[in-house]
Amino acid sequence: MRIAVLSRNKNLYSTRRLVEAGELRGHQVDVIDTMHCYMDITSNRPSVRYNGDPLPNYDAVIPRIGASVTFYGTSVVRQFEMMGTYSINESVAISRSRDKLRSLQLLSRKGIGMPRTGFAHHPDKIDDLIKNVGGAPVVIKLLEGTQGIGVVLAETQKTAEAIIEAFMGLDANILVQEYIKEAGGADIRCLVVGGKVVAAMKRQAPTGEFRSNLHRGGTASLVRLSPEERKTAINAAKTMGLNMCGVDILRSNNGPMVMEVNSSPGLEGIEAATGKDVAGMIIDFISKSAEPNKTKTKGKG
């Protein structure tokens, strides 16, 4: 097969591993810088151009679209879909997962466990917004945040009000969430590929920190999932329509609670913590599933 990894940097661990795993299985794998792709969207024979030439007909693309380039990145993926190229994650599903609020609304509609969450832009009754998710302590998040930035724990009602007021002053959209204390500064990252959890790790925040992000100094270790956790991760991936994703779960007294679903999960941490060939499993899934013109939405939406 001829596979393209859509990535801005061929030296990134995840990108390198996908190329390596593909080549090891006898495929031809190119790294294409998403942001350098351009296209004639009016042509009746859609194509993607790169560096002066049309790209060859790939059997599959693997989008690795960073949060900051979601808008352009998903239009490139959509163009591939219009050409009938198989994408492991479809453009609509990527866009859907990038919007934290939209994701939580979808997961909640499907009855998937999640922390009690409020959403606001400019509430007149901040105290009611906090009360509605069970009162302090609460976690307050900027809707656009990533890697733990913009995620704050407010221990008291007064602090919570002050933080929400500050965020309101920035004209930001905010999530106010029940604090899952019993998670103990840890969360579980489940890597789902093709409707199966292929690897899982526990991330533990350093002492004095509640955010377990590896970028914030969290440490990763191997973890055994309960059947309920496994089911929750699979359901979350299915609800989002993602064939490959990272589902982040908090262990709460009321069962597994999904925090977020990531459509371009990093492979370095999870491969190191589990010793599993996740990149290889992604390639295996693609070679089993990739067929031309299989995209459900054909680049619509």
Based on CB atoms, which residue is closest to ligand ADP, 213 or 287? 213
Among 22, 113, 148, 269, binds ligand ADP (CB under 6 A): 148
Based on CB atoms, which residue is closest to ligand ADP, 81 or 248? 248
115 binding ligand ADP? (CB under 6 A): yes
Based on CB atoms, which residue is closest to ligand ADP, 98 or 276? 98
**Rounded to the nearest whole angstrom, what is the least distance from the CB of residue 176 to ligand ADP in the complex?**
10
172 binding ligand ADP? (CB under 6 A): no
d(Cα 197, Cα 177) in Å, to the nearest integer?
Answer: 26
Q: Which stretch binds ligand ADP (CB under 6 A): 5-13, 76-84, 90-98, 175-183?
A: 175-183
3-state secondary structure of 158: helix
Cis? peptide before 123, omega within 30° of 0: no
d(Cα 163, Cα 154) in Å, to the nearest integer?
Answer: 8
Q: How many residues does the chain have?
A: 301
Q: What are phi and psi of 156, to 5 degrees?
A: -120, 160
Please name every residue paired with 118 in a beta bridge, in sequence order, or none if there are none: 176
Among 58, 86, 210, 285, binds ligand ADP (CB under 6 A): 210
180 binding ligand ADP? (CB under 6 A): yes
Look at residues 26, 30, 31, 24 and name the one whose alpha carbon lies nearest to residue 1: 26
3-state secondary structure of 207: coil
Among 19, 37, 104, 139, binds ligand ADP (CB under 6 A): 139
Based on CB atoms, which residue is closest to ligand ADP, 146 or 159? 146
188 close to 229: Cβ distance less than 8 angstroms: yes
Based on CB atoms, which residue is closest to ligand ADP, 1 or 143? 143
240-259 residues in contact with ligand ADP (CB under 6 A) are 248, 250, 259
**Rounded to the nearest whole angstrom, what is the least distance from the CB of residue 285 to ligand ADP in the complex?**
25
Q: Which stretch binds ligand ADP (CB under 6 A): 45-53, 137-145, 222-230, 292-300?
A: 137-145
Distance (Å) of CA 231 to CA 73, 184, 190: 30, 22, 11
Distance (Å) of CA 219 to CA 187, 201, 270, 277: 11, 10, 11, 20
133 binding ligand ADP? (CB under 6 A): no
263 binding ligand ADP? (CB under 6 A): no
147 binding ligand ADP? (CB under 6 A): yes
Q: Quick one: how many helices (H) and strands (E) in the chain?
A: 9, 16
Residues 187-206 vs ligand ADP: string with x where CB under 6 A? x-----------------x-
d(Cα 156, Cα 34) in Å, to the nearest integer?
Answer: 44
114 binding ligand ADP? (CB under 6 A): no
CB contact set of 48 (below 8 Å; sequence gap of 6+) = 37, 38, 39, 54, 55, 76, 79, 80, 83
Q: Which stretch binds ligand ADP (CB under 6 A): 5-13, 18-26, 54-62, 143-151?
A: 143-151
104 close to 118: Cβ distance less than 8 angstroms: no
Based on CB atoms, which residue is closest to ligand ADP, 108 or 146? 146
Q: Which residues bind ligand ADP (CB under 6 A)?
A: 115, 139, 141, 145-148, 151, 177-180, 183, 187, 205, 210-213, 248, 250, 259-260
